[in-house]
Amino acid sequence: MAKRPTLPAEAAAWLTSDQPLRVLVVGASGPVPAMLSDAGNAVAVVDKDAAAVARLVARRPDIGGVVGRAEGLPLHPLTFDRVICVQNLHSMAPGLAFAEFARVLAVGGALGVMYLSRDDSVPWVRRLATAVQQVLPDAMKGSYGEDSLDHVHQSSYFPRVEHESYRLWVPSDRQGLIEMALAAPGASRLTPEASNDLRDAVGAVYDSAARPPEPLLLPYKLSCWRAWVDHNEMTAGIPVRADPALHITL
């Protein structure tokens, strides 16, 4: 079976600290909240999906849960040392979300962003993408949402941005690779004949690349950004000119 990539301990430490912090994770799904809590941080999650929050809190009572949106966080100012967005920054309205992140971050806090992307530069992965796209033309296109980081670099709330990346190798056996392809968007609507074609094509790629009994290693790149908050944008006064009129600069 194909395994899910996990957050390396060094990446978690880089995004947070070697000391326990107050961390808000935006999004209740995935393993990151639990991993950060296990590392000693005081973790809360916020998600608009009340059911997802309830499931996480029931499974991990050490993690706090809040129902809300990134664009309007129902949280007190200066509450967290880190706000972490995992694979979802592109789904937010940056003008609203960044102001909210800056508001709830304490002085010296930072916004952390993570995106996991498959490394398609490896030859057998390119062959896999070609095989899958012959049946599912829109699959494995490599659009992961990292373009949303442009908004972070342009934000006056987060003038200093740092970047780090990590290489991950995830073992996958033949059946796991086939199941991954069958989980691609649109695969559930394939005819039985097309599904069999997809199975055969992916299986053939595995057979040509694998060296039994060792599994194939799916290559991934984990990109992490750390953007330090600047509250001056929120506290700067309105400049008043010498003339009688009041001018407000936006």
What is the model's pLDDT at position 236? 53
* DSSP code, position 170: E
CATH architecture classification, 9-234: 3-Layer(aba) Sandwich (3.40)
Which tens digit of pLDDT belongs to each residue from 128-183?
A: 999 999 999 988 876 678 889 999 999 999 999 999 999 999 999 999 999 999 99
Beta strand segments in 57-159, E: 64-67, 80-86, 105-118
- Determine the average pLDDT of the residues in 40-60: 97
For 185, 187, 188, 196, 217, the CA distances from 191, given in Å and listed in that order, are 14, 9, 9, 9, 30
Which tens digit of pLDDT belongs to each residue from 64-96?
A: 999 999 999 999 999 999 999 999 999 999 989
Sketch the domain layout of the chain as residue ranges: 9-234
HSE, CB side, 13 Å, CA atoms: give it for residue 84: 35
What is the model's pLDDT at position 119? 84
